[in-house]
Amino acid sequence: MELTLWTYEGPPHVGAMRIAASMKGVHYVLHAPQGDTYADLLFTMIERRGKRPPVTYTTFQARDLGGDTAELVKRHIREAVERFKPDALLVGESCTAELIQDQPGALAGGMGFDLPIVSLELPAYSKKENWGASETLYQLVRGLLKNHGAAAEGHDPTRWKEAGRRPRVNLIGPSLLGFRCRDDVIEISRLLASHGIDVNTVVPLEATVADIMRLPEADLNVCLYAEIAESCCSWMERQFGIPFTRTMPIGVGATADFLAETHNLLGMEAPDAREGEQSSKLPWYSASVDSTYLTGKRVFIFGDGSHVLAAARIANEELGFQVVGIGTYSREMARPVRAAAKALGLEALISDDYLAVEAAMAEAVPELVLGTQMERHSAKRLGIPCAVISTPMHVQDVPARFSPQMGWEGANVIFDSWVHPLMMGLEEHLIGMFRHDFEFVDGHQSHLGHLGGLQSAQVEEAPAAIADSATQTEGSAEGSAVAVATASLEWTVDGEAELKKIPFFVRGKVRRNTEAFAKEKGLIRIDSETLYDAKAHYSA
């Protein structure tokens, strides 16, 4: 048993739902009790979908367990096929049904339907949502294409030249409840088109069964989201010899690399390396003097594997930040994230315990957090600005406006959405600084509401529940992220006064450093001199 207060990923059958709901003409019969129907709201509320996900739940009850649950499964399959007339049927079970072993996939296979049926076995007690989505996409594509005639030896990704047509690629991986997938597809299709590359088909988002059947017609597969697409792309490489791209085109450098990789695999001439500078505003905005203050900003990054890797590269190479913490909740992506961390001189945090992530965040004392919606909340408690870069999805991650992460426009979006919270953080400082000027209008509102500036940013839920967490120790009254035991240390009035003059967003760090310094020197009292001594010590 594992104590879980909150989970980044749902169970694997929710991943399967993401694939089914992304597509057209696919229906999913899920052997599951009634409570599991909650998953519909992920699509109808979070994604604001105007359609129910194409899922029939068998909603078996305790009283059914004594009888013939297999018959109940068959009845629901029959009704679903008659009512929805799908082009392909997915059949699987959720955690509870897995225990009663009705094998709904085998049952469906024996019912004599004239349509492709894919039986999903998604171990609910060891796997999670992204794995479930990946496995479902792989099983579906494999199930539909395994008898396809194309042979691995015959594929040549440069064949478009002799065929006298433009090269064409598949975009694999975008799905509902994936981060900005809808807009990434538009942006990447546009980008490829500008290089004379056509999109053969996009899978699974908005794909039909006929689209899946056309997958082997492409010269190349573009693996957009490794978590979901890689196993499917690998299978197509083995089965049909179709190579696939590995670079996720998020950020100016990665987009350029992606274009180079695509051109290379397709046998095209390498694209102009300066395209990024010309097409995205990020390089110039980052170089402009206004951005000088971004230099060395301490940033903590957490999320799914692929978005974290992309964010680390942008932070490090394109914005001149200092990455001070990096981690992921995707165990499947632990290896590359560990490698990226190592290259940055860090140790990666691989965890799905959000409290451990919050503790690591507090420990790293970042000035900006790039994380999921949960890190946004943790950062808010700690008084640190945050931008969201990854799932799990929240209604705010489905903006009305065009807001991709990928490609040149994605880099623009990222510049704005990361730098804006930092600016707001600076504004908080200014509000605090001018609070005592007589011109300052009392009640000036910051973006944190009336509690802005030097006041507590902790506005959400009564802290009574957080007995020993970092948030309470400092009361975050100084927007500080630190909670170091100070039992044996005492700050003099003059020391505290000096500390107060330091901008709130670095004050926590200064306090912590000074106390560490004092302990090291065996001091008990910290006055303004100690503070300056510590300052000199640490900058030396």
Output the smallest distance, CB 126 to another protein, in A.
5
Distance CA 344, CA 326 (A): 9
Residue 246 binds another protein (CB under 8 A) = no
Q: Which stretch binds another protein (CB under 8 A): 59-67, 218-226, 325-333, 506-514?
A: 59-67
Cα torsion for 41, 43, 44, 47, to the nearest 10°? 130
Q: Which stretch binds another protein (CB under 8 A): 55-63, 267-275, 306-314, 516-524?
A: 55-63
Q: What is the DSSP code (8-state) at residue 269?
A: P
Helix axes of 528-539 and 493-500: crossing angle, nearest 10 degrees: 50
Q: Which stretch binds another protein (CB under 8 A): 120-128, 258-266, 290-298, 311-319?
A: 120-128
Q: Which stretch binds another protein (CB under 8 A): 36-44, 252-260, 266-274, 327-335?
A: 36-44
Which active-site residues does the annotation give?
290
Distance CA 498, CA 488 (A): 20
Contact track, another protein, 329-358, x by CB under 8 A: --------------------------x---
Q: According to CB under 8 A, which one of 25, 70, 96, 195 is a site residue for another protein? A: 96
Output the smallest distance, CB 17 to another protein, in A.
11
Select 187 or 227, whichever has its Cβ closest to another protein.
227
Distance CA 299, CA 89 (A): 45
Three-class SS state of 388: strand
Closest to 389 (Cα-Cα) out of 479, 461, 323, 476: 323
Contact 379, 370 (CB under 8 A): no
Select 2 or 439, whichever has its Cβ closest to another protein.
2
Select 367 or 375, whichever has its Cβ closest to another protein.
375
Residues 128-167 that bind another protein (CB under 8 A): 128
Residue 9 binds another protein (CB under 8 A) = yes
Residue 38 binds another protein (CB under 8 A) = yes
Output the smallest distance, CB 291 to another protein, in A.
31
Three-class SS state of 482: coil
Q: According to CB under 8 A, which one of 150, 199, 359, 466 is a site residue for another protein? A: 466
Q: According to CB under 8 A, which one of 155, 168, 313, 381 is a site residue for another protein? A: 381
Select 62 or 289, whichever has its Cβ closest to another protein.
62
User: Over the range 291-312, which residues count as b (16 or more CB within 10 Å of their CB) and which as e?
Assistant: eeebeebbbbbbbbbbbbbbbb
In the block, which residue shows the tokens 């809808």? 182
Q: What is the DSSP code (8-state) at residue 387?
A: E
Residue 521 binds another protein (CB under 8 A) = no
Select 262 or 330, whichever has its Cβ closest to another protein.
330
Residue 400 binds another protein (CB under 8 A) = no
Residue 66 binds another protein (CB under 8 A) = no
Residue 83 binds another protein (CB under 8 A) = yes
Three-class SS state of 348: coil
Cα distances (Å, whole numbers) of residue 297 to 252, 405, 427: 19, 21, 16
Q: Is 214 exposed, middle or buried (0-12, 13-18, 19+ CB in 10 A)?
A: middle
Contact 118, 35 (CB under 8 A): no
Q: Which residues bind another protein (CB under 8 A)?
A: 1-7, 9-11, 13-14, 33-42, 44-45, 48-52, 56-62, 65, 76, 79, 83, 94-96, 99-100, 123-126, 128, 355, 373-374, 377, 381, 394-395, 460-469, 471
